[in-house]
Structure 1
Amino acid sequence: MYTNDFARLWFKLSKDLKNHMETGLAPTLTEGQLNVLELLEAHERMKPSDFIAYLETTPAAITTLLDRMEKGGLIVRERDDHDRRIVWVKTTDRGREECARGVQIREQFLQSHLDRISAHNQQLLVYLLGKVANAS
């Protein structure tokens, strides 16, 4: 009954957010790179293979993404002290700064949209989206 309306609104909001993020993050960061930086902020360090479960992409694509990020000074790769076969990915100071900037850009966009409704309705919207997404 409401699926067409939901799909139309979801697509519009998603498209607007994507365009806003691309414009706001450029030229030093992409949305994919921001995702990696946020994961590293949450986990401190990760192996390249760890990103596969979160980013839903191929190992080759992750390697290319990490290569670009390393060239841009956002991350470093370090060999494990005990097992030289293991490579750890860690955020640099510049990466942490860019991550904070990216999160702020996203939060400002989302807050400007959420400010159009009351705090109660914001809470209700998050609750209902959690139900739709089947999140706990």
Structure 2
Amino acid sequence: MDITKIGKFIGALHRRFQIAMNHELTLPEINASNANFLLFINEHDGVTAKQITTELAINKGLVSRELTRLEHASYITRTPDDSDRRITWIRITPKGKAACKTIRQLKQSLWDQVLGDVPANDVELVYTQLEAWSEQAKKFDQTK
């Protein structure tokens, strides 16, 4: 087995899902990238842009642009911290929560198509392993 191909497969899966999401999404101002941001914000309401950047391993310029797009479309709000104006809290709006429901349904549908008849135990094993590898890879963040 050529272990270096794991990255190729993960990258190809990600890109194909991004393309499918962009094709299927009909929500105004939502694309595959900021859909993931919105889901993250929904799960971590009261988050900062730096936390999004760190947790999703996305550059801060892209995060800033997409957050501006989401804010202008009323999916999120950004509020400066009262005690430290350098910090801005990002919160999801009711419109954002409704969008997350649609995004999750679409993602579920796409995964159902890809996974087909794969047993739930196998899916859980892959999920657990990918989660562990993702945590291990966070050490690369410190080498910047």
TM bracket, shorter-chain basis: 0.7 to 0.9
TM-score by length of 2: 0.71
Correspondence 1:23 to 2:23: yes
Q: Secondary structure at the match of 1:46?
A: coil
Q: Is residue 18–residue 33 contact of structure 2 (8 Å, CA) maintained in 1?
A: no
Cα displacement string for residues 81-102 of structure 1 (whole angstroms, at most 9, x for unaligned residues): 3334432111111111111211
The whole-number CA distance in structure 2 between the counterparts of 1:85 and 1:13 is 37
Equivalent pairs: percent with the same residue?
21
Q: Secondary structure at the match of 2:117?
A: coil
Worse-matched range after superposition: 64-73 or 6-15 = 6-15
Cα displacement string for residues 106-135 of structure 1 (whole angstroms, at most 9, x for unaligned residues): 11111232233334444454456567x466
Tell me the equivalent position of 1:48.
49
Structure 1: runs of 5 or more not aligned: none
1:1-136 to structure 2, matched below 5 A, reads 1=1, 10=10, 13-28=13-28, 29-126=30-127, 133=133
CA-based RMSD = 3.0
State the structure with more CA Rg: 1
Structure 2: runs of 5 or more not aligned: 137-144
The whole-number CA distance in structure 2 between the counterparts of 1:130 and 1:85 is 31
- C-alpha deviation, 1:62, in angstroms: 2.0
TM-score by length of 1: 0.74
Equivalences, count: 135
Letter in 2 for 1:57: I
